[in-house]
């Protein structure tokens, strides 16, 4: 007999795993497809540093994930933004906004281990692993579910699902199978990521320093180090990666300046391309895209995972009426249209802000410099503008999903 699920989540990374946890208790039969073997973590759970917005902290706490972290998080109490060569700076202070912190910094692998531990606690979840998505056969217009073809140990496996959720990343095979086009922009930057130690330990300030080749960001980790992201022009990436630690630190110090103190040592460096991708639609018959499959952002402003998590938490809200209602269809068109409507404002504003900052921040030119300087000075002088910027950085744009809202005191 054909195995069937009410909801089949394809992709066991940060967003897919979070969604599977959020769907627990809704009375739905949920399956999770993951390419990693039992006992292993997906490749996305690496040493990258994630800046969790306050809304994401609320959601992951409500899901029971953050209490399972074994390593301490680093609170973000201030955000310091500036651009090399321009006047002015913007400093957002959580205390000024009546908040203890704007969010928390966590290492992706640490969060992955906590998510895996939480998934293991879900008695109703069916995990298909290691499995690779293959295709979606043609679906009749009046069909009550989709067929999903997977590959496992060299054999084909076909499942049924009333709703298929694509959480399989930027190069989503599910999105391609659904024939959903996406607009892509290559920033011609390579992002070098590492752990960085400074003479003065982090004090809760997250730094974003914009340069012609892209941003250099320092995120305050919970282990008295910074999580560093240093963007270089793609044509220089190989040469910069080949630098020894001392030369690399000198390069980053020159680009960033001394506002965080002297840089002393750097850990193993990883490299990632900087690009953005926006799917032209996020739904198809009995299918929905979430996370990087729906939109992939430049890491400037650290909004990518946070936006994807809000996709997942909104979908969980939309599916919540299924509790105790056997006749409610999780994949019907009206329900998916509601998901799109709820996500529209947050998605459009966050994508536009991320792309605008990435383009404007790395655009050299004598004409742009005074305009950027005026913008920084205006932000620094206007508490109302700072409050709006802080609210967006904390993940409070548009229709905020239930689990992302601040808990009642």
Q: How many CA atoms lie within 13 A of 141 on its CB side?
A: 0
Other Cβ atoms less than 10 A from the Cβ of 130: the count is 16
pLDDT in tens, 105-135: 999 999 999 999 999 999 999 999 999 999 9
Residue range 43-50: mean pLDDT, rounded? 77
State which residues form the domain around 300.
3-72+108-184+276-365
Say if residue 87's pLDDT is above 70: no
Q: pTM higher than 0.85, yes or no?
A: yes
Residue range 163-183: mean pLDDT, rounded? 97
Q: For 171-177, which contacts have Cβ atoms below 8 Å and span 24 or more sequence positions?
A: 172/11, 172/289, 172/292, 172/293, 173/133, 174/10, 174/133, 174/136, 174/287, 174/289, 174/293, 175/279, 175/289, 175/293, 177/133, 177/135, 177/136
Confirm if 138 and 131 have CB atoms less than 8 A apart. no
pLDDT in tens, 259-271: 999 999 999 999 9
Asked, for residue 404, whether it belongs to a domain, the answer is: no
Residue range 304-315: mean pLDDT, rounded? 96
Asked, for residue 233, whether it belongs to a domain, the answer is: no
The DSSP element (H or E) to which 113 belongs, if any, is: helix 108-119
CA distances for 319 relative to 26, 196, 227, 312, 405, angstroms: 8, 42, 36, 11, 18
Confirm if 371 and 25 have CB atoms less than 8 A apart. no
| pLDDT at position 82 | 81
CA distances for 144 relative to 141, 191, 286, angstroms: 9, 44, 9
Beta pairing partners, 30:
7
| pLDDT at position 90 | 77
Q: Tell me, what CATH number does 359's domain have?
A: 3.50.50.60
Confirm if 185 and 31 have CB atoms less than 8 A apart. no
Count of domains for the chain? 1
Q: How many CA atoms lie within 13 A of 163 on its CB side?
A: 29
pLDDT in tens, 178-235: 999 999 999 999 999 999 999 999 999 999 888 888 889 999 999 999 999 999 999 9
Asked, for residue 286, whether it belongs to a domain, the answer is: yes
214, 220, 224, 228: CA torsion to nearest 10: -20
Residue 148 has which token pair? 């999903």
Asked, for residue 355, whether it belongs to a domain, the answer is: yes
| pLDDT at position 91 | 82
Percentage of the chain beyond pLDDT 90 is: 68
Asked, for residue 21, whether it belongs to a domain, the answer is: yes
Quote the CA–CA distance of 273 and 276 in Å, as a whole number.
10
Quote the CA–CA distance of 228 and 218 in Å, as a whole number.
5
CA distances for 224 relative to 53, 74, 206, 300, angstroms: 20, 8, 13, 22
Asked, for residue 170, whether it belongs to a domain, the answer is: yes
Pairing assessment for the beta strands 126-128 and 30-33 based on DSSP bridges? parallel
Task: Name 329's Cβ contacts closer than 8 Å, sequence gap at least 6.
Answer: 144, 162, 335
The DSSP element (H or E) to which 25 belongs, if any, is: none
| pLDDT at position 366 | 47
Confidence category of residue 172, pLDDT binned at 50, 70, 90: very high
How many angstroms from the chain centroid is the CA of residue 281? 19
What is the strand order of the sheet 74-76 is part of? 49-53, 103-107, 74-76
Residue 59 has which token pair? 């959601």
Quote the CA–CA distance of 81 and 353 in Å, as a whole number.
15
Q: For residue 172, report the phi and psi dihedrals to the nearest 5 degrees.
A: -60, 120
| pLDDT at position 143 | 81
pLDDT in tens, 63-86: 999 999 999 999 999 998 887 766
Residue 220 has which token pair? 């305050």
| pLDDT at position 8 | 98
Asked, for residue 13, whether it belongs to a domain, the answer is: yes
Confidence category of residue 290, pLDDT binned at 50, 70, 90: very high
Output the average pLDDT for the chain: 88
Q: 278-306: b or e for each residue (b if 16 or more CB lie within 10 Å)?
A: bbeebbbebbbbbbbbbbbbbbbbbbbbb
pLDDT in tens, 363-409: 555 444 545 445 555 555 556 666 777 788 889 999 999 999 987 65
| pLDDT at position 380 | 57
Residue range 318-331: mean pLDDT, rounded? 77
Say if residue 275's pLDDT is above 60: yes
């Amino acid at each position: 007999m054909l195995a069937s699920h009410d909801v089949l989540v394809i992709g066991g990374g940060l967003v897919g795993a979070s969604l599977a946890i959020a769907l627990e208790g809704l009375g739905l039969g949920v399956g999770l497809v993951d390419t990693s073997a039992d006992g292993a973590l997906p490749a996305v759970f690496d040493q990258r540093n994630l800046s969790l917005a306050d809304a994401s902290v609320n959601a992951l706490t409500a899901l029971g994930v953050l209490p399972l972290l074994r390593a301490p998080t680093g609170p973000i109490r201030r955000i310091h933004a500036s651009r090399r060569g321009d006047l002015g700076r913007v400093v957002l202070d959580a205390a000024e906004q009546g908040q203890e912190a704007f969010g928390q910094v966590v290492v992706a692998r640490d969060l992955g281990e906590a998510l895996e531990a939480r998934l293991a606690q879900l008695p109703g979840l069916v995990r298909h692993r290691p499995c690779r998505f293959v295709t979606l056969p043609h679906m009749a217009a009046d069909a009550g579910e989709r067929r999903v073809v997977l590959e496992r140990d060299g054999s084909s496996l076909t499942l049924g699902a009333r709703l298929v959720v694509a959480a399989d990343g930027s190069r989503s095979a599910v999105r391609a199978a659904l024939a959903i086009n996406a607009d892509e922009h290559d920033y011609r930057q390579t992002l070098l990521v590492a752990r960085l130690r400074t003479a003065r330990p982090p004090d809760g300030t997250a730094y974003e320093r914009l340069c012609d080749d892209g941003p250099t960001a320092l995120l305050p980790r919970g282990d008295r180090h910074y999580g560093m992201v240093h963007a270089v022009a793609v044509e220089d990436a190989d040469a910069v990666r080949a630098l020894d630690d001392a030369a690399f630190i000198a390069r980053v110090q020159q680009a960033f300046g001394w506002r965080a103190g002297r840089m002393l040592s750097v850990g193993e460096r990883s490299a990632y391309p900087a690009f953005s991708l926006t799917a032209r639609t996020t739904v198809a018959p009995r299918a929905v895209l979430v996370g990087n499959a729906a939109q992939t952002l430049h890491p400037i402003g650290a909004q990518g995972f946070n936006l994807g998590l809000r996709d997942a938490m909104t979908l969980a809200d939309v599916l919540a009426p299924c509790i105790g209602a056997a006749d409610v269809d999780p994949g019907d068109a009206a329900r998916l249209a509601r998901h799109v409507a709820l996500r529209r404002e947050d998605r459009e504003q966050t994508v536009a802000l991320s792309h605008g900052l990435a383009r404007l921040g790395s655009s050299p030119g004598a004409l742009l410099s005074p305009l950027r300087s005026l913008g920084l000075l205006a932000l620094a002088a206007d508490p109302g503008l700072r409050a709006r910027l802080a609210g967006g950085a904390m993940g409070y744009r548009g229709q905020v999903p239930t689990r992302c809202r601040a808990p009642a005191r």
